[in-house]
């Protein structure tokens, strides 16, 4: 058997793509094969992405020409340290969430297993393709693959999910279309779609209004997709009404991958010089993210249900990364990239913990958490770790990325951003300690949870083993990521950021 | 190369048409009350961008991008790019059309689910039902 490693950049897309086809076939023939196929596909891709990251650490950049066509004409897949890291995160999160939610999927969609798992794996395919590709138009196609499957994954849920999914679809389509229009202008100006090729052709044209317009259109499209305040309105409904298995992969990954794409476009298609200095956007963007952080935190405070509260925390977290990135100094950009990684795992962990609790007590009102530390000690311990990380307590990884972001803010002299970050940490502390306090100190109500159709008190116990193992893995990886922050920054992120910054 | 292509397009009324179509679509998505009308608006919005790409490939006095007399041994003559329209935007839009059809499909499927749940496609009636 020949060595497949030169083909890793293609395999990372092709394996889950074929898995998705097989899964939907299995959905017709024998539904028992759907889950193993999905798990196998995502696990293979996880291994491949780890292989890619380790070879990128040695080789700097891996270029892969799809179909053997040379660069500006054919589609080029380009793996460097930045997207090698993001790829590993994508498959890690997707695989853990898939295993954890095996039972909730089987119980919610017994008839639609093939469809659900095929959508799930296609969604991950789209995301990883967006990250791996070096072609601006290919990125649009993969963006739409992940978006369309995302709408379906949300809309497949019950109650208000279809309506929320439809509204998300309207807004998401506008965002993707604006990106497509921006790429169209870039193509008009340069005649190329390859990101590095456009990047080398553009510098002479930076004063051209069409190029400026293209930049603004691409960015606006991406801001809509990443739910940056004030373009965030679609997110809370879409995320809080969707099924647990969908939200566990959509919430950690969608916004983070969009932020990765923003970084890729501003660095590779345009230059940091153009994006940060010539456009005079830095201040505007940082203040917008300050607004995102503060408004996200305030809205989160106003919620009484856990899932909905978490959606506003996500909006605040988007502000962290966008703001850190547009501060434009090395420290803050490092923090933003590190936070992509950390926030994906934190969000995974908190949504898995929330999913385990909701699965057991059938509700996510804060009142439902009474006495849960006694009944579900392991899930609640993992919940606490994720909460500490979101607050930013060492040695969890959330502390370190926040540290870099705050140092970057101070280095840039942007104290508004620093204050917003500290304010959001305080609010997160209030948000999560409120729940932890209810869970730890208040006794479990004798008669069950009254208005909900939840099982009586005696029957509430720990979540199923599969869920717990994944939850614990996610919680442990939060601490491991925190402890190895130094290595991740010096060996990967520092070398991934262009030296010009 | 790209700049020349840009200046070649002397009359730019196509961009005006595209912008008008985009605004019609956007207006329908924002202002219409019926979900299917919103979906139609979304489709108009996407189609406007497809037309934008297609119109950028056009050149005055140029023909379809098939090399003339290429098959009987004269294929090595110099080919002038100005004599042929640019096929690449059209090829890209084949993909974009597939994407927009798929989006339309997902949107209509969700609209059917919404209709089964609430018995209506009017947004204000759905909102009223949610408040009950």
pLDDT digits (tens, 9 = 90+) for A30-43: 888 888 899 999 99
- What pLDDT is stored for residue A181 in this prediction? 93
Average pLDDT over residues B40-64: 88
Residue A454 confidence class, pLDDT cut points 50, 70, 90: low
Closest residue in B to A165 (Cα–Cα):
B110
Q: Is B45 in contact with A174 (Cβ distance < 8 A)?
A: yes
Residue B109 confidence class, pLDDT cut points 50, 70, 90: very high
Whether B98 shows a pLDDT value over 80: the answer reads yes
How near does any CA of chain B get to the CA of A337, in Å? Answer: 30
Q: Is A184 in contact with B52 (Cβ distance < 8 A)?
A: yes
Which residues on B lie below 8 Å from A233 (Cβ)? none
Q: Residue A335, Cα to own-chain centre: how many angstroms?
A: 16
Closest residue in B to A145 (Cα–Cα):
B99
- What pLDDT is stored for residue A379 in this prediction? 86
Distance CA A351, CA A371 (A): 20
pLDDT digits (tens, 9 = 90+) for A480-492: 998 998 888 888 8
Q: Is B46 in contact with A177 (Cβ distance < 8 A)?
A: yes
Closest residue in B to A201 (Cα–Cα):
B2
Which residues on B lie below 8 Å from A155 (Cβ)? 106, 109-110, 113
Q: Is B117 in contact with A155 (Cβ distance < 8 A)?
A: no
Closest residue in B to A185 (Cα–Cα):
B53
Q: Hey, is the C-beta of B47 within 8 angstroms of any chain A C-beta?
A: no
ipTM metric: 0.87
Mutation to test the A interface, candidates B33, B95, B99, B132, most A Cβ within 10 Å: B99
Q: What is the pTM of this model?
A: 0.91
Boundaries of every domain in chain B = 2-59+86-130
Give a three-class secondary structure readout of A222-286: HHHHHCCCCCCCCHHHHHHCCCHHHHHHHHHHHHHHHHHHHHHHHHHHCCHHHHHHHCCCHHHHH
Of residues A177 and B131, more confidence is placed in A177
Q: How high is the mean pLDDT of chain A? A: 87
Q: Hey, is the C-beta of A75 within 8 angstroms of any chain B C-beta?
A: no
- What pLDDT is stored for residue A153 in this prediction? 92
Which residues on B lie below 8 Å from A174 (Cβ)? 26, 29, 42, 45
Q: Hey, is the C-beta of A163 within 8 angstroms of any chain B C-beta?
A: yes
Whether B10 shows a pLDDT value over 60: the answer reads no
Element (H, E) at A454: none
Q: Is A166 in contact with B117 (Cβ distance < 8 A)?
A: no
Which residues on B lie below 8 Å from A169 (Cβ)? 42, 103, 106-107, 110
Distance CA A373, CA A493 (A): 38
Burial class (CB in 10 A: 0-12, 13-18, 19+), A224: buried
Q: Hey, is the C-beta of B95 within 8 angstroms of any chain A C-beta?
A: yes
Closest residue in A to B18 (Cα–Cα):
A181
Which residues on A lie below 8 Å from B27 (Cβ)? none
Which residue from A343, A353, A361 is spatially nearest to A97, judged by alpha carbons?
A: A353
Q: Point out the least confidently predicted range of A21-35, A263-277, A440-454.
A: A440-454
- What pLDDT is stored for residue A218 in this prediction? 92
How near does any CA of chain B get to the CA of A472, in Å? Answer: 35
Distance CA A313, CA B114 (A): 28
Distance CA B32, CA B38 (A): 6
Task: Answer left, alpha or beta for residue A431, where phi above 0 means left and psi between -120 and 50 means alpha.
Answer: alpha
Instruction: Pick B110's closest partner by Cβ from A169, A174, A189.
Output: A169
Cα within 13 Å of Cα(A325), Cβ side: 30
Q: Does domain B2-59+86-130 have CATH number 1.10.287.3510?
A: yes
CB pairs under 8 A between A and B: 85
């Amino acid at each position: 058997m020949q060595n497949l490693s030169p083909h890793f950049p293609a395999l990372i897309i092709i394996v889950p793509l074929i898995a998705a086809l097989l899964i939907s076939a299995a959905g017709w023939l024998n539904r028992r094969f759907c889950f193993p196929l999905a798990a196998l596909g995502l696990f293979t891709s996880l291994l491949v992405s780890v292989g890619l990251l380790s070879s990128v650490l040695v080789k700097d950049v891996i270029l892969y020409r799809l179909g053997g066509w040379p660069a500006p004409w054919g589609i080029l897949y380009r793996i460097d340290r930045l997207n090698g890291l993001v790829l590993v995160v994508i498959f890690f999160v997707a695989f853990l969430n898939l295993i954890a939610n095996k039972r909730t999927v089987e119980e919610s969609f017994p008839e639609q297993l093939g469809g659900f798992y095929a959508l799930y794996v296609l969604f991950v395919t789209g995301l990883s393709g967006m990250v791996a590709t070096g072609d601006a138009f290919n990125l649009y196609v993969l963006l739409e693959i992940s978006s369309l499957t995302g709408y379906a994954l949300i809309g497949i849920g019950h109650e208000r999910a279809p309506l929320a999914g439809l509204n998300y679809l309207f807004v998401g389509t506008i965002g993707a279309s604006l990106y497509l229009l921006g790429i169209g202008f870039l193509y008009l100006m340069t005649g190329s779609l390859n990101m590095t090729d456009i990047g080398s052709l553009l510098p002479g044209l930076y004063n051209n209004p069409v190029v400026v317009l293209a930049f603004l259109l691409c960015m606006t499209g991406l801001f809509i997709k990443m739910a940056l305040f004030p373009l965030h309105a679609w997110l809370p409904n879409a995320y809080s009404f969707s099924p647990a298995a969908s939200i566990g992969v959509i919430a950690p990954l969608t916004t983070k991958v969009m932020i990765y794409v923003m970084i890729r476009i501003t660095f590779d298609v345009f230059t940091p010089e153009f994006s940060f200095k010539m456009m005079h956007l830095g201040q505007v963007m940082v203040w917008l993210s300050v607004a995102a952080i503060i408004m996200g935190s305030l809205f989160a405070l106003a919620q009484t249900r856990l899932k909905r509260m978490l959606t506003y925390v996500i909006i605040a977290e988007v502000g962290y990364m966008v703001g850190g990135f547009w501060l434009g100094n090395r420290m803050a950009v490092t923090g933003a990239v590190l936070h992509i990684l950390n926030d994906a795992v934190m969000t995974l962990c908190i949504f898995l913990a929330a999913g385990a609790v909701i699965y057991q007590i059938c509700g996510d009102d804060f009142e439902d958490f009474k006495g849960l530390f006694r009944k579900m000690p392991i899930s609640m311990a993992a919940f606490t770790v994720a909460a500490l990380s979101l607050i930013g307590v060492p040695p969890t990884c959330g502390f370190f990325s926040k540290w870099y972001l705050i140092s970057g803010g101070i280095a840039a002299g942007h104290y508004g951003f620093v204050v917003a970050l500290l304010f959001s940490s305080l609010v997160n502390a209030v948000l999560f300690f409120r729940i932890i306090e209810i869970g730890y100190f208040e006794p479990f109500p004798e008669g069950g949870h009254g208005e909900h159709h939840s099982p009586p008190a005696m029957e509430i116990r720990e979540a199923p083993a599969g869920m717990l193992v994944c939850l614990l893995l996610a919680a442990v990886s939060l601490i491991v990521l925190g402890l190895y922050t130094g290595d991740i920054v010096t060996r990967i992120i520092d070398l991934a950021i262009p030296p010009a910054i | 190369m790209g700049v020349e292509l840009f200046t070649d397009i002397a009359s730019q009324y196509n961009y005006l048409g595209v912008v008008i179509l985009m605004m019609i679509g956007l207006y329908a998505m924002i202002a219409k009350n019926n979900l299917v009308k919103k979906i139609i608006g979304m489709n108009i919005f996407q189609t406007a961008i497809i037309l934008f790409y297609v119109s950028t490939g056009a050149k005055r006095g140029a023909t379809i991008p098939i090399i003339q007399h290429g098959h009987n041994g004269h294929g090595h003559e110099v080919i002038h790019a100005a004599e042929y329209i640019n096929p690449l935007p059209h090829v890209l839009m084949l993909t974009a059309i597939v994407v927009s059809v798929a989006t339309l499909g997902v949107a209509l499927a969700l609209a059917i689910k919404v209709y089964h749940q609430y018995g209506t496609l009017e947004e204000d009636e759905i909102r009223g039902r949610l408040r009950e």
